[in-house]
Structure 1
Amino acid sequence: MDLNNKYIKEACVEGLQQALNAEKQGADRIELCARLDLDGLTPDFDTIKEVKRQSNIPIRVIIRPREGDFNYSEKEFQSMKQAIETCKAIGVEGVVFGITTANNMMDLKRTQLLVELAHPMKVTIHKAIDAITNPIETIKELIKIEGIDTILTSGKGETWQQGQDLIKHMIKEADENLVIMPCGKITDLNINNAHKTLRAEVYHGKLIVGKL
Protein backbone atom coordinates (compact mmCIF):
# COMPACT_ATOMS: atom_id res chain seq x y z
CA MET A 1 0.00 0.00 0.00
CA ASP A 2 1.36 3.41 -0.89
CA LEU A 3 0.27 6.78 0.41
CA ASN A 4 -1.80 7.72 -2.65
CA ASN A 5 -5.06 6.88 -0.92
CA LYS A 6 -4.54 3.17 -1.56
CA TYR A 7 -6.32 2.03 1.54
CA ILE A 8 -9.89 1.16 2.37
CA LYS A 9 -11.97 3.51 4.52
CA GLU A 10 -14.65 1.77 6.58
CA ALA A 11 -17.17 4.22 8.03
CA CYS A 12 -18.91 3.26 11.24
CA VAL A 13 -22.53 4.35 10.76
CA GLU A 14 -25.82 4.37 12.61
CA GLY A 15 -28.79 3.81 10.35
CA LEU A 16 -29.73 4.39 6.74
CA GLN A 17 -29.08 8.12 6.35
CA GLN A 18 -25.56 7.92 7.77
CA ALA A 19 -24.87 4.92 5.52
CA LEU A 20 -25.95 6.87 2.43
CA ASN A 21 -23.99 9.94 3.53
CA ALA A 22 -20.87 7.85 4.12
CA GLU A 23 -21.07 6.36 0.63
CA LYS A 24 -21.58 9.80 -0.92
CA GLN A 25 -18.58 11.16 1.03
CA GLY A 26 -16.21 8.48 -0.19
CA ALA A 27 -16.41 5.51 2.19
CA ASP A 28 -15.36 2.21 0.63
CA ARG A 29 -17.30 0.11 3.11
CA ILE A 30 -19.62 0.62 6.06
CA GLU A 31 -19.99 -1.01 9.43
CA LEU A 32 -23.69 -0.75 10.22
CA CYS A 33 -24.67 -0.35 13.87
CA ALA A 34 -27.43 0.83 16.14
CA ARG A 35 -26.75 2.86 19.28
CA LEU A 36 -23.28 4.22 18.64
CA ASP A 37 -23.64 5.99 21.99
CA LEU A 38 -23.23 2.47 23.43
CA ASP A 39 -20.34 1.70 21.04
CA GLY A 40 -22.65 -0.10 18.63
CA LEU A 41 -25.35 -2.75 18.95
CA THR A 42 -26.99 -5.02 16.38
CA PRO A 43 -29.28 -2.90 14.20
CA ASP A 44 -32.86 -3.96 13.53
CA PHE A 45 -33.34 -6.15 10.52
CA ASP A 46 -35.54 -3.71 8.59
CA THR A 47 -32.67 -1.20 8.75
CA ILE A 48 -30.18 -3.80 7.50
CA LYS A 49 -32.48 -4.66 4.58
CA GLU A 50 -33.01 -1.03 3.63
CA VAL A 51 -29.30 -0.17 3.81
CA LYS A 52 -28.53 -3.24 1.67
CA ARG A 53 -31.19 -2.17 -0.85
CA GLN A 54 -29.98 1.41 -1.19
CA SER A 55 -26.20 1.08 -0.80
CA ASN A 56 -23.69 0.37 -3.50
CA ILE A 57 -20.73 -0.37 -1.21
CA PRO A 58 -20.07 -3.42 1.00
CA ILE A 59 -21.85 -3.60 4.35
CA ARG A 60 -20.65 -5.33 7.49
CA VAL A 61 -23.16 -5.54 10.32
CA ILE A 62 -22.21 -5.51 13.99
CA ILE A 63 -23.51 -8.49 15.96
CA ARG A 64 -23.57 -7.25 19.54
CA PRO A 65 -26.65 -8.02 21.62
CA ARG A 66 -25.99 -5.58 24.46
CA GLU A 67 -23.65 -2.93 25.77
CA GLY A 68 -20.84 -3.68 28.21
CA ASP A 69 -18.40 -6.57 28.15
CA PHE A 70 -18.17 -9.35 25.58
CA ASN A 71 -18.76 -12.33 27.88
CA TYR A 72 -22.17 -13.42 26.68
CA SER A 73 -24.79 -15.70 28.23
CA GLU A 74 -26.13 -18.69 26.33
CA LYS A 75 -29.30 -16.75 25.53
CA GLU A 76 -27.26 -13.83 24.17
CA PHE A 77 -25.12 -16.25 22.15
CA GLN A 78 -28.25 -17.74 20.59
CA SER A 79 -29.47 -14.25 19.64
CA MET A 80 -26.12 -13.59 17.96
CA LYS A 81 -26.53 -16.77 15.93
CA GLN A 82 -30.01 -15.72 14.83
CA ALA A 83 -28.75 -12.27 13.84
CA ILE A 84 -25.95 -13.82 11.75
CA GLU A 85 -28.45 -16.09 9.98
CA THR A 86 -30.61 -13.05 9.18
CA CYS A 87 -27.64 -11.08 7.84
CA LYS A 88 -26.73 -14.02 5.63
CA ALA A 89 -30.29 -14.16 4.27
CA ILE A 90 -30.25 -10.41 3.56
CA GLY A 91 -26.95 -10.80 1.72
CA VAL A 92 -24.59 -8.34 3.37
CA GLU A 93 -20.85 -8.72 2.82
CA GLY A 94 -19.94 -9.54 6.40
CA VAL A 95 -20.58 -9.50 10.12
CA VAL A 96 -18.61 -8.05 13.03
CA PHE A 97 -18.44 -9.65 16.48
CA GLY A 98 -16.23 -10.67 19.38
CA ILE A 99 -16.71 -13.01 22.34
CA THR A 100 -14.54 -13.29 25.44
CA THR A 101 -14.45 -15.60 28.43
CA ALA A 102 -14.88 -14.54 32.04
CA ASN A 103 -11.09 -14.47 32.50
CA ASN A 104 -10.37 -12.04 29.62
CA MET A 105 -9.45 -14.55 26.94
CA MET A 106 -10.97 -14.77 23.47
CA ASP A 107 -13.67 -17.47 23.47
CA LEU A 108 -12.21 -19.41 20.56
CA LYS A 109 -14.77 -22.23 20.62
CA ARG A 110 -17.77 -19.93 20.33
CA THR A 111 -15.92 -17.72 17.86
CA GLN A 112 -15.34 -20.71 15.59
CA LEU A 113 -19.03 -21.67 15.77
CA LEU A 114 -20.10 -18.18 14.72
CA VAL A 115 -17.51 -17.99 11.93
CA GLU A 116 -18.72 -21.31 10.53
CA LEU A 117 -22.33 -20.12 10.75
CA ALA A 118 -21.45 -16.86 8.98
CA HIS A 119 -19.83 -18.57 5.97
CA PRO A 120 -19.60 -17.43 3.18
CA MET A 121 -19.86 -13.92 4.67
CA LYS A 122 -16.64 -12.22 5.74
CA VAL A 123 -15.99 -11.89 9.48
CA THR A 124 -14.41 -9.03 11.42
CA ILE A 125 -13.40 -9.62 15.03
CA HIS A 126 -14.10 -6.29 16.72
CA LYS A 127 -12.52 -4.46 19.64
CA ALA A 128 -13.13 -7.38 21.99
CA ILE A 129 -9.50 -8.08 21.00
CA ASP A 130 -8.53 -4.97 23.00
CA ALA A 131 -10.31 -6.27 26.10
CA ILE A 132 -8.27 -9.46 26.34
CA THR A 133 -4.99 -10.03 28.11
CA ASN A 134 -2.73 -10.97 25.19
CA PRO A 135 -3.83 -9.86 21.71
CA ILE A 136 -0.65 -11.07 20.01
CA GLU A 137 -1.04 -14.66 21.21
CA THR A 138 -4.74 -14.48 20.34
CA ILE A 139 -3.98 -13.46 16.75
CA LYS A 140 -1.97 -16.68 16.39
CA GLU A 141 -5.08 -18.63 17.42
CA LEU A 142 -7.50 -16.62 15.29
CA ILE A 143 -5.36 -17.23 12.20
CA LYS A 144 -6.20 -20.93 12.60
CA ILE A 145 -9.95 -20.26 12.31
CA GLU A 146 -10.70 -20.28 8.60
CA GLY A 147 -13.16 -17.56 7.65
CA ILE A 148 -11.95 -14.68 9.81
CA ASP A 149 -11.03 -11.80 7.51
CA THR A 150 -10.24 -8.78 9.70
CA ILE A 151 -9.46 -7.70 13.26
CA LEU A 152 -10.52 -4.23 14.44
CA THR A 153 -8.24 -2.67 17.07
CA SER A 154 -7.09 0.57 18.62
CA GLY A 155 -4.13 -1.24 20.17
CA LYS A 156 -5.74 -0.90 23.62
CA GLY A 157 -5.48 2.90 23.31
CA GLU A 158 -8.19 5.55 23.42
CA THR A 159 -6.70 6.77 20.13
CA TRP A 160 -4.68 5.15 17.38
CA GLN A 161 -1.71 7.28 18.45
CA GLN A 162 -1.80 5.82 21.96
CA GLY A 163 -2.14 2.29 20.60
CA GLN A 164 0.21 2.57 17.63
CA ASP A 165 3.00 0.34 18.96
CA LEU A 166 0.64 -2.56 19.64
CA ILE A 167 -1.21 -1.99 16.36
CA LYS A 168 2.08 -2.22 14.43
CA HIS A 169 2.99 -5.39 16.35
CA MET A 170 -0.40 -6.89 15.51
CA ILE A 171 -0.02 -6.04 11.82
CA LYS A 172 3.38 -7.73 11.80
CA GLU A 173 2.04 -10.81 13.59
CA ALA A 174 -0.99 -11.13 11.31
CA ASP A 175 1.22 -10.75 8.21
CA GLU A 176 -0.85 -11.75 5.18
CA ASN A 177 -3.13 -14.08 7.13
CA LEU A 178 -5.48 -11.48 8.60
CA VAL A 179 -6.19 -7.80 7.96
CA ILE A 180 -5.58 -5.61 11.01
CA MET A 181 -7.93 -2.62 10.78
CA PRO A 182 -6.85 0.28 13.04
CA CYS A 183 -9.39 2.52 14.74
CA GLY A 184 -9.33 5.01 17.59
CA LYS A 185 -10.38 8.53 16.59
CA ILE A 186 -9.23 8.10 12.99
CA THR A 187 -10.90 10.87 10.95
CA ASP A 188 -10.76 12.42 7.51
CA LEU A 189 -8.32 14.93 8.97
CA ASN A 190 -5.73 12.51 10.37
CA ILE A 191 -6.06 9.37 8.25
CA ASN A 192 -3.05 10.22 6.08
CA ASN A 193 -0.91 10.66 9.19
CA ALA A 194 -2.24 7.38 10.57
CA HIS A 195 -1.37 5.65 7.32
CA LYS A 196 2.16 7.06 7.26
CA THR A 197 2.66 5.57 10.73
CA LEU A 198 0.72 2.30 10.58
CA ARG A 199 0.77 1.28 6.89
CA ALA A 200 -2.46 -0.68 7.26
CA GLU A 201 -4.75 -1.82 4.46
CA VAL A 202 -8.02 -0.69 6.02
CA TYR A 203 -8.98 2.03 8.54
CA HIS A 204 -12.18 2.45 10.56
CA GLY A 205 -13.91 5.41 12.15
CA LYS A 206 -17.14 7.32 12.72
CA LEU A 207 -15.62 10.42 11.07
CA ILE A 208 -13.33 8.69 8.58
CA VAL A 209 -14.99 10.46 5.65
CA GLY A 210 -16.05 13.47 7.71
CA LYS A 211 -19.18 14.24 9.71
CA LEU A 212 -22.17 12.15 8.66
Structure 2
Amino acid sequence: PAPDLISEVIESVNIPVRVMIRPRNGNFVYNEDELEHMKACVEFCKKKGAEGVVFGVLHENNALNIEAIEMLTEAAKPLKVVIHKAFDNTPDLQEALTQLISIEGIDTILTSGGKSNAFDGAENLKALLKQAGTQIEIMPAGKITQFNLTEFHHMVDAQVYHGRLIVGELD
Protein backbone atom coordinates (compact mmCIF):
# COMPACT_ATOMS: atom_id res chain seq x y z
CA PRO A 1 0.00 0.00 0.00
CA ALA A 2 0.92 3.64 -0.33
CA PRO A 3 2.88 5.11 2.60
CA ASP A 4 0.02 7.43 3.61
CA LEU A 5 -2.40 4.49 3.75
CA ILE A 6 0.06 2.45 5.83
CA SER A 7 0.39 5.35 8.28
CA GLU A 8 -3.36 5.91 8.44
CA VAL A 9 -4.14 2.25 9.14
CA ILE A 10 -1.46 1.89 11.83
CA GLU A 11 -2.67 5.07 13.54
CA SER A 12 -6.37 4.17 13.26
CA VAL A 13 -6.59 0.60 14.52
CA ASN A 14 -5.85 -1.07 17.81
CA ILE A 15 -4.68 -4.37 16.34
CA PRO A 16 -1.26 -5.47 15.07
CA VAL A 17 -0.69 -4.57 11.41
CA ARG A 18 1.41 -6.61 9.00
CA VAL A 19 2.05 -4.86 5.70
CA MET A 20 2.41 -6.57 2.31
CA ILE A 21 5.64 -5.45 0.66
CA ARG A 22 5.22 -5.90 -3.07
CA PRO A 23 6.52 -3.35 -5.59
CA ARG A 24 4.23 -4.43 -8.42
CA ASN A 25 1.72 -7.00 -9.61
CA GLY A 26 2.84 -10.03 -11.58
CA ASN A 27 5.53 -12.51 -10.68
CA PHE A 28 7.81 -12.45 -7.63
CA VAL A 29 11.09 -12.04 -9.54
CA TYR A 30 12.41 -8.59 -8.68
CA ASN A 31 15.34 -6.59 -10.02
CA GLU A 32 17.80 -4.66 -7.84
CA ASP A 33 15.82 -1.41 -8.01
CA GLU A 34 12.63 -3.22 -6.94
CA LEU A 35 14.48 -4.92 -4.08
CA GLU A 36 15.86 -1.58 -2.89
CA HIS A 37 12.32 -0.16 -3.03
CA MET A 38 11.07 -3.13 -0.99
CA LYS A 39 13.82 -2.56 1.57
CA ALA A 40 12.86 1.11 1.89
CA CYS A 41 9.21 0.09 2.37
CA VAL A 42 10.22 -2.37 5.10
CA GLU A 43 12.17 0.36 6.87
CA PHE A 44 9.20 2.74 6.55
CA CYS A 45 6.88 0.13 8.11
CA LYS A 46 9.32 -0.37 10.96
CA LYS A 47 9.50 3.38 11.58
CA LYS A 48 5.69 3.69 11.54
CA GLY A 49 5.16 0.90 14.08
CA ALA A 50 3.88 -2.02 12.01
CA GLU A 51 3.98 -5.39 13.76
CA GLY A 52 5.38 -7.07 10.70
CA VAL A 53 5.92 -7.26 6.98
CA VAL A 54 4.87 -9.83 4.39
CA PHE A 55 6.90 -10.54 1.25
CA GLY A 56 8.31 -13.22 -1.04
CA VAL A 57 11.07 -13.18 -3.65
CA LEU A 58 11.84 -15.82 -6.27
CA HIS A 59 14.42 -16.48 -8.97
CA GLU A 60 13.38 -16.97 -12.62
CA ASN A 61 13.19 -20.76 -11.98
CA ASN A 62 10.78 -20.10 -9.06
CA ALA A 63 13.32 -21.17 -6.43
CA LEU A 64 13.45 -18.88 -3.41
CA ASN A 65 15.80 -15.92 -3.80
CA ILE A 66 17.45 -16.57 -0.45
CA GLU A 67 19.89 -13.66 -0.74
CA ALA A 68 17.05 -11.16 -1.25
CA ILE A 69 14.90 -12.76 1.47
CA GLU A 70 17.80 -12.59 3.92
CA MET A 71 18.44 -8.92 3.07
CA LEU A 72 14.77 -7.96 3.57
CA THR A 73 14.48 -10.04 6.75
CA GLU A 74 17.56 -8.37 8.19
CA ALA A 75 16.14 -4.94 7.32
CA ALA A 76 12.87 -5.86 9.04
CA LYS A 77 14.34 -6.85 12.41
CA PRO A 78 12.77 -6.80 14.98
CA LEU A 79 9.45 -6.89 13.06
CA LYS A 80 7.67 -10.15 12.39
CA VAL A 81 8.36 -11.50 8.90
CA VAL A 82 5.87 -13.53 6.89
CA ILE A 83 6.82 -15.17 3.60
CA HIS A 84 3.72 -15.03 1.40
CA LYS A 85 2.32 -17.43 -1.15
CA ALA A 86 5.25 -16.92 -3.55
CA PHE A 87 6.38 -19.94 -1.51
CA ASP A 88 3.69 -21.99 -3.30
CA ASN A 89 5.41 -21.43 -6.65
CA THR A 90 8.65 -23.07 -5.56
CA PRO A 91 9.50 -26.40 -7.22
CA ASP A 92 10.14 -28.20 -3.89
CA LEU A 93 8.10 -27.03 -0.90
CA GLN A 94 10.03 -29.12 1.63
CA GLU A 95 13.39 -27.78 0.45
CA ALA A 96 12.02 -24.22 0.42
CA LEU A 97 10.79 -24.70 4.00
CA THR A 98 14.20 -25.97 5.08
CA GLN A 99 15.81 -22.87 3.54
CA LEU A 100 13.39 -20.49 5.25
CA ILE A 101 13.79 -22.16 8.65
CA SER A 102 17.52 -21.46 8.39
CA ILE A 103 16.95 -17.69 8.11
CA GLU A 104 16.79 -16.09 11.55
CA GLY A 105 13.88 -13.68 11.80
CA ILE A 106 11.29 -15.36 9.59
CA ASP A 107 8.25 -16.14 11.71
CA THR A 108 5.56 -17.43 9.35
CA ILE A 109 4.96 -18.92 5.91
CA LEU A 110 1.59 -18.20 4.30
CA THR A 111 0.80 -21.14 2.00
CA SER A 112 -1.85 -23.18 0.23
CA GLY A 113 0.48 -26.15 0.18
CA GLY A 114 1.55 -25.43 -3.38
CA LYS A 115 -2.00 -25.63 -4.74
CA SER A 116 -4.61 -23.06 -5.75
CA ASN A 117 -6.40 -23.37 -2.40
CA ALA A 118 -5.76 -24.85 1.04
CA PHE A 119 -8.21 -27.72 0.58
CA ASP A 120 -6.42 -28.97 -2.54
CA GLY A 121 -3.10 -28.52 -0.74
CA ALA A 122 -4.20 -30.13 2.53
CA GLU A 123 -1.87 -33.15 2.28
CA ASN A 124 1.10 -30.91 1.51
CA LEU A 125 0.11 -28.58 4.34
CA LYS A 126 0.06 -31.48 6.80
CA ALA A 127 3.56 -32.48 5.68
CA LEU A 128 4.81 -28.88 5.97
CA LEU A 129 3.30 -28.50 9.44
CA LYS A 130 5.01 -31.71 10.56
CA GLN A 131 8.35 -30.66 9.05
CA ALA A 132 8.14 -27.15 10.53
CA GLY A 133 7.27 -28.30 14.05
CA THR A 134 7.85 -25.34 16.34
CA GLN A 135 10.66 -23.84 14.22
CA ILE A 136 8.41 -21.69 12.03
CA GLU A 137 4.67 -21.04 11.82
CA ILE A 138 2.81 -22.48 8.82
CA MET A 139 -0.33 -20.44 8.11
CA PRO A 140 -2.70 -22.24 5.71
CA ALA A 141 -4.46 -19.89 3.30
CA GLY A 142 -6.67 -20.07 0.26
CA LYS A 143 -10.47 -20.31 0.29
CA ILE A 144 -10.68 -20.76 4.07
CA THR A 145 -13.84 -19.09 5.40
CA GLN A 146 -15.94 -18.95 8.56
CA PHE A 147 -18.09 -21.68 7.01
CA ASN A 148 -15.35 -24.25 6.38
CA LEU A 149 -12.70 -23.39 8.99
CA THR A 150 -13.75 -26.10 11.46
CA GLU A 151 -13.78 -28.76 8.73
CA PHE A 152 -10.40 -27.61 7.45
CA HIS A 153 -8.92 -27.49 10.95
CA HIS A 154 -9.89 -31.13 11.43
CA MET A 155 -8.04 -31.93 8.21
CA VAL A 156 -4.70 -30.22 8.96
CA ASP A 157 -4.70 -29.16 12.65
CA ALA A 158 -2.72 -25.93 12.20
CA GLN A 159 -2.40 -23.30 14.94
CA VAL A 160 -3.27 -20.32 12.72
CA TYR A 161 -5.22 -19.75 9.50
CA HIS A 162 -5.62 -16.96 6.95
CA GLY A 163 -8.76 -16.09 5.04
CA ARG A 164 -10.51 -12.98 3.82
CA LEU A 165 -13.85 -14.22 5.15
CA ILE A 166 -12.60 -16.21 8.12
CA VAL A 167 -14.21 -14.11 10.87
CA GLY A 168 -17.50 -13.23 9.21
CA GLU A 169 -18.94 -9.72 9.15
CA LEU A 170 -17.18 -7.03 11.15
CA ASP A 171 -18.88 -3.92 12.50
Q: Secondary structure at the match of 2:122?
A: helix
Q: Which of these residues, 148, 153, 156, is aligned with residue 190 of structure 1? A: 148
Deviation at 1:85, TM superposition (A): 0.6
Deviation at 1:137, TM superposition (A): 0.7
Take 1:191 and 1:55, find their aligned partners in 2: how far apart are those partners? 25
Unaligned runs of 5+ in 1: 1-42
The answer on whether the counterparts of 2:146 and 2:165 sit within 8 Å (CA) in structure 1 is: yes
Match of 1:137 in 2: 95
Q: Which of these residues, 165, 173, 178, is aligned with residue 123 of structure 2? A: 165
Deviation at 1:211, TM superposition (A): 4.9
Match of 2:158 in 1: 200
1:149 aligned partner, one-letter code: D
Counterparts of 1:8-47 in structure 2 under 5 Å?
A: 43-47=1-5
Q: Secondary structure at the match of 2:87?
A: helix
| Percent sequence identity over aligned pairs | 48
Deviation at 1:210, TM superposition (A): 2.1
TM-score normalised by length of structure 2: 0.96
Q: Secondary structure at the match of 2:108?
A: strand
Instruction: Give the structure with the higher percent strand.
Output: 1
Take 1:163 and 1:120, find their aligned partners in 2: how far apart are those partners? 31
1:150 aligned partner, one-letter code: T
Take 1:103 and 1:69, find their aligned partners in 2: how far apart are those partners? 11
Unaligned runs of 5+ in 2: none
TM-score normalised by length of structure 1: 0.78
Answer 1 or 2: higher relative contact order, Cα 8 Å, separation at least 6.
Answer: 1
Task: Provide the aligned C-alpha RMSD in A.
Answer: 1.0
Aligned length: 170
1:116 aligned partner, one-letter code: E
Take 1:192 and 1:105, find their aligned partners in 2: how far apart are those partners? 33
